[in-house]
Amino acid sequence: MDKFNAFTLTSVRKSPLGGAKHGSPGIVALCEKPFVPSFNLRVKPGSLEFSAVADALGLPLPTIVGQSQQRTMGNEPPVNALCLGPDWWFILGEIDAIPLLEPVRAKAHFSIVDVSAQRTQIEIQGPCARKVLEHLWEQDLRETHFGIGSCTQGLMAKAPIVLWHLGQNRYNISVRSSFVRHLWEAMVDACVEYLG
Amino acid sequence: MNTVNFYFDGTKYNGYRGEPLAAALLRAGIVHFTDSINFQRPRGIVGIGVEESNAMVQFVSGAQEPTVPATMIELVEGLSVSSLAGVGNLPDEPETARYDKVHRHTDVLVVGAGIAGLTAARKHLLKGREVILMDDQPCPGGHYSHLGTVLPASFSEILTHKSLMYLPRTTVTGLYDQGFAVAIERRSDHLSAEINPNFARIRTWHIRASHIVLAPGAFQRPLVFANNDRPGILLSHAAATYVDRYQVRSFHRAVVATVDNQGYRDAVRLHKSSVQVVMILDSRSHASGKSVSEALACGIPVKMNCTVVDTAADTRGVLCSITAVDLLTKVTTKMDADLLAVSGGWTPTVHLGTFIGIKPTWSEPHAAFLIQRDSGYLSTVGMLAGDFGNGDGQSDDSPAIFFGPDLDDTQARFAFVDHQRDATLHELRRAVGAGLSSIEHIKRFTTIGTAHDQGKTSGTTTVGLMSQLVGNTADKNSKAMPIPAIGTLSFRPPYIPIPFVALAGRERGLLIDPIRTSSIHEWHVKAGAPMEDVGQWKRPWYFPLPGEEMPAALLRECAAARKGVAIMDASTLGKIDIQGPDAAQFLDRIYTNVFSTLKVGSCRYGLMCGADGMVFDDGVTTRLGHNHFLMTTTTGGAARVLAWLEEWLQTEWPELKVFCASVTEQIATIALVGPKSRELMGLLAPALDVSKEGFAFMESRESSVAGIPARVARISFSGELAFEINVPAWFGLHVWEQAMKLGQPFHIAPYGTETMHILRAEKGFIIVGQETDGTQTPADLDMEWIVSKKKDFIGKRSFLRDDVRRAGRHQLVGLLPEESAEVIPEGAYLVTTTNGKAITGNPLKPMKHIGYVTSSYFSAELGRSFALALVADGLNRMGEQVAIPLGNKIIPATICKSVFVDKENTRRDG
């Protein structure tokens, strides 16, 4: 990206929902968090590449599907690794691992793909957040089964998403950009009874 | 209690807020409620809950829902209903109420909030479990609430337990394996205030429970005797509840016909509510127990070995007298009565258990089918499990296995087994007489148990009567059939009728299915482009200028692409990033052609087949690095192809070191097409060498395009000089707008899917899914040039199959209609005569069919119409005349090669 004017780039880019917001945090609120850097990582756990990749990322990769790990360094925004499959992670946050890994790429077997624009992030929060999700999501959302830090994949309103439990009454939904308008409409609709 | 006004068949009545509509109607003297569906016989209210077989109404107010039992409707101010004779009407007005759905996981689901269900809920709550308690009544307690008894504090307390979610007015309608249950919650019909339109009227619950407790209780059975359907004949528990709890004063003289002690308890309740109980007719030879002593203490006359055999009606059709019969002496006695309260024993609600394959077992002491389970994820309690007492296992009911007295043929014609279906004992006898001995056949022959109530009251009665009839016929070979050998009717979800709209929930209108859009979609909408549905995608179809019709727009767009420059949003193409040391080898196995020889920075068109050798998908794949490829797929095939790649990698070739990642939405793809596209590309990417020599066909370059990091490739789906610009989707709209701005001097024209189709068809390029339907090999598509002879790939072995090698397979050819303005409809059939001459004359005459049209357009370039078609042995029929019969006319056409424009590929380099 260094060849390009960062200002020009940020001034002309468009997120699929334009940073839309809806609802009220005291009940339930939705907002798009646009332009979150994200990466699709595939590497076999236990391989040499696995530790090289984890070292370059600077965060331990969780090896249990459905768990996440966070890296925080100083004032930098956190980086999170969400384990989506036995050899599959979804990384949310800016990383500098790709150039670091360039020397080993020729021989090693892993893939890190920039998918920042593939999905956008919708955050849902508020006391009624879980109730709203229960209208659209079939999986178990109870704390005992989907505690803070848990992540999972599935179809929400028939759109493929990654659901990630961020904190008390706070969830992040990573949705494929082409589906996001539809999902947003479905989520706004599901809020109706709670927002009045 | 609040008095409210309501309307029944247009007449105003009043009743108490929240009481069952049935109670208010009976109190208002509406004993004759409606007429039956086939015989128009007067019918009245029979039951107290969802088992009601007669008193169906249609809402006139509110959601206008048809076919709801009056026993299940809570009275509210302004309620208006009309009586139904069997068949309801769907309202003409569109549904405006809201319906939604909730998914909930829990430790325990308890179905039924009677004493047994409450006891089970309490037990699980005390063990620290999360419990959902669902009950179809407005208040908890089951029988307790019918009796008007105050719920003991030990039960009422748990209803507010923090780990309990109690849902009244909620019917569990389906039970499935692994603890999955579906329920319908009626949320607003009982609210009289202005209903908030944002509040869902009915909520469908999808519950997944680690453990399910079934405590659904039981229904009382009627008896089968002549004229047993008259208004004034009620189930005894219902009659006593209406009279005692709801102060119905429409009945004065009652006869109770019973086979158990429940009849005695109900007789006492009637007696205490000032109804004169003329007599209890007990079919048993003796009776004892607390219930019996209490009735005797009230001075109610009891006659043993006796039941009711017939009834009579007054001029209104309402019950006025009954005929009792002594079962031993057959002596009959007539008694005046305006209420006949019948207690034929209890039928526990086995439905939910049978939904998951459980066969209920017959218990003689209970005279009932029971389900007794306490294992795994399911347990049963209460009456379903055989506990006919009040949770203490103590019951003095001692029911007889008795379904009605002997009836002659005439009486049997008026002895109703299923009221709602007007099905009689006569029909049951005919069914058995015809040789039917399976309950499933009997059900279909007689229609018993097929109405809205699915035989809730008639099921066990039918089984009992069948047991008496089978083996009792003239056929000496037929053997007697005990009740357990017959079993219950098969029940299926839903347990009660539910409106389709409740199942649809919010998945209606625009929310029924996702609409997928590209990052440039907004621009297309503003430009006024009509959209075409391509799978779930909305793609611009064409871009009309103000006032321009579609044919004119297409001619203009095609001309721009062939003579100037045109631009298309190709972002919907599926894109898969493929990396790993074995990536090239993997692609060699997936595609019919070789990819391992592809140079870094080059692109190649590839065709993939299924294991059956039939074309599965196609697209261009670019080698980004030695171990790194970017595959494109068809728009509709993206998910299917990724799943296909993963399937082979994970299950067949786990040794291959390859990882795939979908990047379909990561990349916005913009095609610049036409002889002037080079000049425009140069303006957009000044640093990029766009010359013929510097940037060859099927090569890919990294460059800045409109200030954005991009990958540009020389790929053409039209045969023209073309550049495909790929940028991160956030910048798709920006790059598109810049291209439109810089393209103005070249009269750049945006085009949509229709022009794209025309341009590619002129070049004979196939579209998978349009020229193919999963039965075409590459050879069938005249694409044998793309099938490698040197390597193995998926589908190769299938090419050796006789059927694939045989002559006469449908092959892709071009078609030129004789009339150059005639555009043949796609899908039209081609016919011919055996000597190769087209048929003329009557098009309705049977003719030999040889193929069909797959694509058909009017070409600006050719100045005429043309088509692609799959024709039997088509590649050997060049120049042959065929005919397309359409209605009353025949279109003659000539078969030609499928490439119409630029057969020598001279245009792709500009």
Evaluate whether B115 touches B155 at the Cβ level (below 8 Å).
yes
Q: How many helices (H) and strands (E) does chain B have?
A: 22, 48
DSSP state of B599: P
Q: What is the pLDDT of residue B396?
A: 81
Which B-chain residues 357-396 have CB contacts (< 8 A) with chain A?
none
Candidates B100, B511, B600, B730: best to mutate against A (most CBs of A within 10 A) is B730
In the predicted structure, residue B388 carries a pLDDT above the cut 50: yes
In the predicted structure, residue B466 carries a pLDDT above the cut 70: yes
pLDDT band of B478, cuts 50, 70, 90: low
Contacting residues of A for B198, CB less than 8 Å apart? 192-193, 196
Q: What is the pLDDT of residue B654?
A: 96
Residue in chain B lying closest to A191 (CA) = B198
pLDDT band of B900, cuts 50, 70, 90: very high
For chain B, what percent of residues have pLDDT higher than 90? 86
Sequence-distant (6+) residues with CB within 8 A of A184 are A17, A20, A22, A30, A32, A122
Residue in chain B lying closest to A38 (CA) = B666
Q: What is the CA radius of gyration of chain A?
A: 18
Contact flag A8-B101 (C-beta cutoff 8 Å): no
Least confident of B63-67, B322-326, B774-778: B63-67
Count of CB atoms situated within 10 Å of the CB of B384? 28
Sequence-distant (6+) residues with CB within 8 A of A53 are A41, A43, A61, A97, A101, A110, A112
In the predicted structure, residue A7 carries a pLDDT above the cut 80: no
Evaluate whether B847 touches B892 at the Cβ level (below 8 Å).
no
Which B-chain residues 176-205 have CB contacts (< 8 A) with chain A?
196, 198-200
Sheet containing B566-569, strands listed edge to edge, beginning at the edge strand earlier in sequence: B700-705, B708-713, B722-728, B667-673, B566-569, B749-750
In the predicted structure, residue B473 carries a pLDDT above the cut 60: no
Q: How far, in Å, CA of B321 to CA of A7, rounded?
A: 95
**Shortest Cα distance, chain A CAs vs residue B163, angstroms:** 12
Q: How far is CA B847 from the centre of its chain?
A: 41
Q: How far, in Å, CA of B49 to CA of B51, rounded?
A: 5
Contact flag B506-A189 (C-beta cutoff 8 Å): yes
Q: How far, in Å, CA of B163 to CA of A140, rounded?
A: 16
Least confident of A140-154, B245-259, B749-763, B829-843: B829-843
Contact flag A116-B728 (C-beta cutoff 8 Å): yes
Contact flag B731-A109 (C-beta cutoff 8 Å): no
- ipTM field: 0.96
CA atoms within 13 A on the CB side of B899: 11
Nearest to B206 by CA among A171, A183, A187, A134: A134
Of the candidates B100, B105, B537, the beta carbon closest to that of A140 is on B105
Please indicate if any CB of chain A lies within 8 Å of the CB of B538.
no
Please indicate if any CB of chain A lies within 8 Å of the CB of B600.
no
In the predicted structure, residue A1 carries a pLDDT above the cut 50: no
Residues in chain A: 196
DSSP state of B157: G
Evaluate whether B755 touches B558 at the Cβ level (below 8 Å).
yes
**Shortest Cα distance, chain A CAs vs residue B99, angstroms:** 11
Contact flag B510-A185 (C-beta cutoff 8 Å): yes
In the predicted structure, residue B689 carries a pLDDT above the cut 60: yes
In the predicted structure, residue A2 carries a pLDDT above the cut 50: no
Q: What is the pLDDT of residues B598-656, one digit of tens each?
A: 999 999 999 999 999 999 999 999 999 999 999 999 999 999 999 999 999 999 999 99
Contact flag A157-B708 (C-beta cutoff 8 Å): no
Contacting residues of B for A107, CB less than 8 Å apart? 581
Identity of residue B462:
T
**Shortest Cα distance, chain A CAs vs residue B786, angstroms:** 30
Q: What is the mean pLDDT of residues B271-282?
A: 97
Please say whether the dihedral angle defined by the alpha carbons of residues B292, B297, B300 and B304, taken in this order, is positive or negative.
Answer: positive
Of the candidates A110, A119, A185, the beta carbon closest to that of B511 is on A185
**Highest mean pLDDT of the ranges A175-189, B148-162, B481-495:** A175-189
Contact flag A1-B667 (C-beta cutoff 8 Å): no
Q: What is the pLDDT of residues B102-159, one digit of tens each?
A: 999 999 999 999 999 999 999 999 999 999 999 999 999 998 889 988 899 999 899 9
Residues in chain B: 910
Please indicate if any CB of chain A lies within 8 Å of the CB of B129.
no
Contact flag A135-B667 (C-beta cutoff 8 Å): no
Q: A168-188 b/e with 16+ CB inside 10 Å = b?
A: eeebbbbbbbbbbbbbbbbbe
